[in-house]
Amino acid sequence: MFSKLGCTSLKYMIRSAGLLALLSISAINVFPQNIRVIVWDERQPAQKTAYPDFIGNQIAAHLRTLPGITVVKSAGLDDPEHGLGGDTLDQCDVLIWWGHIRSAEVPVEAGRAIVQRIKEGKLSLIALHASHWSVPFMEAMNEVTRIEATRRYPGTNVKFEFIPPPGRIVPTYDSLVTPAYYAFRESKGEQRVRVDLPLCVFPSYRVDGKPSTVITLRPEHPIAKGIPARFTITATEAYDEPFHVPAPDEVIFRETWSAGGWFRSGMVWSLGKGKIFYFRPGHELYPIYTQEMPLKILENAVRWMGTTN
Residue spans in the chain of domains classed CATH 3.40.50.880: 29-143+199-307
Looking at residue 189, its pLDDT comes to 78
For 77-82, the CB contacts below 8 A with 24+ separation are 77/41, 77/42, 77/43, 77/102, 77/105, 77/106, 78/43, 82/106, 82/107, 82/110
Looking at residue 22, its pLDDT comes to 38
CATH for 29-143+199-307, among 3.30.2290.10, 3.40.50.880, 3.40.50.920, 3.40.50.620? 3.40.50.880
Say whether pLDDT at 50 is over 50: yes
Say whether pLDDT at 25 is over 80: no
Tell me the average pLDDT across 18-25. Answer: 38
> Rounded to an integer, what is the distance from CA 141 to the centroid of its chain?
12
Among residues 195, 135, 203, which one has the least CA distance to residue 163?
195
pLDDT range class, residue 152, cuts 50, 70, 90: very high
Give 184-197 pLDDT, tens digit per residue.
988 777 899 999 99
Looking at residue 155, its pLDDT comes to 86
Least confident of 71-75, 255-259, 262-266: 71-75
Among residues 123, 120, 111, 124, which one has the least CA distance to residue 164?
111
Phi, psi for 85 (deg, rounded to 5): -65, 155
Percent of the chain topping pLDDT 90: 83
Looking at residue 21, its pLDDT comes to 39
Least confident of 25-29, 111-115, 136-140, 162-166: 25-29
Alpha carbon distance 120, 272 (integer Å)? 6
Q: Are strands 94-98 and 35-41 parallel, antiparallel or unpaired?
A: parallel
Looking at residue 20, its pLDDT comes to 38
Percent of the chain topping pLDDT 70: 89
Full-model pTM: 0.89
Say whether pLDDT at 275 is over 90: yes
Q: Which amino acid is at 83?
A: G
pLDDT range class, residue 31, cuts 50, 70, 90: low
| Average confidence score pLDDT of the chain | 90
Give 95-149 pLDDT, tens digit per residue.
999 999 999 999 999 999 999 999 999 999 999 999 999 999 999 999 999 999 9
Say whether pLDDT at 70 is over 90: no
